[in-house]
Amino acid sequence: MGLLAIGTPLEWPEAKKVASHVREWGIEQLLATWRRAKGKERDALLWGDEVEYLVVCYDDQNKKVRLSLRQADILAALASDEKLLKQGGGVPDVQRGQVKEGETAPVFHPEFGRFMLEATPGKPWGIGFKDLLDVEPNMKWRRKIAKDHMDPTEYPITLTTFPRLGCGDCTTPTYPVSGEKLRSQFLPDEIANPHIRFPTLAANIRARRGRKVEVNVPVFHDKNTPWPFKDPTVNYDLHNWPEDDDVRNGAAKENHIYMDAMAFGMGSCCLQITFQAKNIEEGRKMYDQLSPLGPVLLALTAATPIYKGFLADTDVRWNQISRAVDDRTAEELGEKPLENDRWRIPKSRYASNSTYISQDPRLRKEYLDPDLVVDEDLKKRLVEGGMDDLLATHFAHLFIRDPIVVFNEDLKELDLSKVDHFENLQSTNWQHMRFKPPPPGNDTGWRVEFRPMEIQITDFENAAFSIFIVLITRVILSFDLNFYVPIQRTTENMETAHRRDAVLSEKFYFRKNPFPSRPIKATGSSASGSTTPLPVSRPPSPVGPVEDEYELMTVDEIINGQHPAADGFPGLIPLVENYLNSVNVDVETRCDLARYLDLIRKRADGTLWTGAKWMRHFVRGHPDYRFDSVVDERITYDLVKAAEQITRNEARDGLGAEMLGRRR
């Protein structure tokens, strides 16, 4: 999560004063990067996955499970383990060993939530098919290392959210709620990583917004759920902070679960994949082409059916994180006329992305967001600096935001060999795709991060989705596929993906024909010295209405293909199979990959359940559940225990077989 610079962070009123300063310097740093790296070529495919964990702590005697807030201790243990350091592992922010020629131990990172850990491979993966097969064992290794540096009562679980985060007695140790930074009536300030960056982030988002963040999730209406539902955990009589008025002013919506702190969103675990492109052009293409897949993969990985002790009526985490870091003012939100702020902003800093950036002739202007908000002055500076309009627009759009955490020490001198100011804005724009320029000081190339997927309970599933996305990028590049739809359709798809069981019951806008139009034979008038000159004037490719290019499809159709296959969308899995048939893959690798593809195929066609569906089913089948949407301490304890058992056994004992199928 961004850079962990040390210093004195400015409180919001001060930070706001220097916002333009930071943006301008950030743009200069971006231009310096761009000039340095725009010609970078022929970088290999390297990629990495990030797995995030919740650290839970069992109280077996009382059948309770709580979040452990020992992140710092666990990281300290990981960073000082000599054996681990020798293998190249550790905690890069603190201490890690040298990257090895051969196998390198994974590394760990702090996260926003003090109950979270993040782990990444010790060095990036390549495209060698053997590398792909190392992903799952490496993820298992990460979990084992993490577990080995925890207390016996603790376990690193990969649930997106802790089901009872924000209920009383949900952490160990316990702290009082309503602290100065978060001012949450459900969570203590100590829920966040104590590094000054994190509480400041939360406090300044709240301060900029002028009230607490407001996260309302529709509650699942079960047969005994009181209706209309008024979140019974909301305290309307608190008077510690001005923000305690929020709920008295209607912040908690009827029939919704109400939450009021950044940790409810940023405390979620995701599965993110980053790819290095061969050059900036390929990176821009991947950014665009992966974008329409985002909502589909969000629905397919759905794993978030519970919030603050209630079953929700949605299946994924996305919008909750979006709202939990939404720093827009009432003016920017359109609730008040614009007086002090510069513009209305339609989306949170955490949202589906709003730009296409590839210089691909297939990118029609109709695909772009007509209402995109752009800082025209910064865009002008980028264009003056030599950047093309499309990319300048992208960054000038990200830079409409204010920097949230600004360190006083960094404002003295502009250092063009650093990217701290650029990253300040870039890394607090949490869109579902991220385009990452090469960092200074090493040979890393242009990268694209795919961010929408939810973390899965088992390493098998996490490996499957990671590898699937990697293969999809290879398919896109090999077959020159075109998934463009107007970007507003992707925004709408993102909403669709939230609905309960969207994977089976909803439809998504998707491009009907992903193939390039017939290649015009390369022979032609330019063929000097050719013995068979066939002067070809490239006929203008027929361009129909944009609306005819896409239609609503089920996730099954997008993943497995439409019928009849001859005319319909071919399906992402058949495309991957076709790619694998075009390259040399050995038998054993192919069979292992088949296991992963099979999981995704069956999740899409409904043979196997998403994590969200499985958890719902578990709760509703629990003897203590009273069909009133309440997920109590005992149900949570059993659910987390079951998740751990599934993590260990991967349904070989039958538990979780609805999600994973029959495993050998």
**Helix (H) or strand (E) segment spanning residue 486:** none
Helix ranges (H only) for 456-553 are 459-479, 487-496, 502-505
Whose tokens are 């993943």? That residue is 559
Whose tokens are 């059993």? That residue is 638
Binding characters for another protein, 380-419, by CB under 8 A (x = yes): ----------------------------------------
Per-residue CA distances from 639 to 500, 636, 651, 656 (Å): 19, 5, 15, 11
Q: Any contact of residue 664 with another protein (CB under 8 A)?
A: no
Stretch that binds another protein, among 194-202, 229-237, 318-326, 579-587 (CB under 8 A): 579-587
Range 38-57, binding another protein (CB under 8 A): 42, 44-45
For residue 117, the SS3 value is strand
CA distance 259 to 247: 10
CB atoms within 10 A of CB 598: 15
Do the strands 90-91 and 171-172 form a parallel or antiparallel pair, or are they unpaired? Answer: unpaired
Annotate 401-449 with three-state secondary structure: CCCCCCEHHHHCCCCCCCCHHHHHHHCCCEECEEEECCCCCCCCCCEEE
Binding residue for another protein (CB under 8 A) from 85, 463, 559, 575? 575
Comparison of 179 and 570: residue with beta carbon closer to another protein: 570
Binding residue for another protein (CB under 8 A) from 583, 607, 626, 654? 583
Comparison of 249 and 581: residue with beta carbon closer to another protein: 581
CA distance 198 to 153: 27
Q: Any contact of residue 241 with another protein (CB under 8 A)?
A: no
Nearest-CA neighbor of 642 among 663, 607, 618? 618
Binding residue for another protein (CB under 8 A) from 278, 344, 364, 634? 278
Stretch that binds another protein, among 1-9, 13-21, 194-202, 571-579 (CB under 8 A): 571-579
Range 461-490, binding another protein (CB under 8 A): 474, 477-480
Comparison of 249 and 537: residue with beta carbon closer to another protein: 537
Comparison of 178 and 276: residue with beta carbon closer to another protein: 276
Comparison of 543 and 587: residue with beta carbon closer to another protein: 587
Q: Any contact of residue 530 with another protein (CB under 8 A)?
A: yes
Q: Any contact of residue 567 with another protein (CB under 8 A)?
A: no
Binding residue for another protein (CB under 8 A) from 60, 103, 389, 586? 586
Annotate 176-201 with three-state secondary structure: CCCCCCCCCCCCCHHHECCCCHHHHH
Tokens encoding 94: 């603190």
Tokens encoding 343: 């513009």
Comparison of 96 and 603: residue with beta carbon closer to another protein: 603
**Taking the complex as a whole, how short is the minimal distance between the CB of residue 371 and another protein, in angstroms?**
35
**Taking the complex as a whole, how short is the minimal distance between the CB of residue 98 and another protein, in angstroms?**
23
Binding characters for another protein, 593-632, by CB under 8 A (x = yes): -x--------------------------------------
Binding residue for another protein (CB under 8 A) from 535, 540, 545, 623? 535
Binding residue for another protein (CB under 8 A) from 223, 518, 662, 664? 518
Comparison of 268 and 560: residue with beta carbon closer to another protein: 560
Binding residue for another protein (CB under 8 A) from 227, 236, 343, 515? 515
Nearest-CA neighbor of 294 among 223, 353, 225, 382? 353
Are the beta carbons of 355 and 435 closer than 8 angstroms?
Answer: no
**Taking the complex as a whole, how short is the minimal distance between the CB of residue 431 and another protein, in angstroms?**
25
Are the beta carbons of 602 and 661 closer than 8 angstroms?
Answer: yes
Q: Any contact of residue 529 with another protein (CB under 8 A)?
A: yes
Q: Any contact of residue 588 with another protein (CB under 8 A)?
A: yes
Cis peptide before 574 (omega within 30 of 0): no
Beta bridge partners of 448: 275, 435
By CB under 8 A, the count of residues binding another protein is 50
Q: Any contact of residue 133 with another protein (CB under 8 A)?
A: no
Q: Name, in order, each residue with C-beta under 8 angstroms of 408's C-beta and a sequence gap of 6 or more.
A: 7, 8, 9, 10
Comparison of 148 and 586: residue with beta carbon closer to another protein: 586
Tokens encoding 240: 């510690």
Binding residue for another protein (CB under 8 A) from 130, 505, 565, 567? 565
**Taking the complex as a whole, how short is the minimal distance between the CB of residue 199 and another protein, in angstroms?**
42
Task: Find the radius of gyration of the CA atoms of the chain.
Answer: 25
Which residues are near another protein by CB under 8 A? 42, 44-45, 126-127, 278, 474, 477-480, 515-516, 518-524, 527, 529-530, 532, 534-537, 539, 561, 565, 570-571, 574-575, 577-588, 590-591, 594
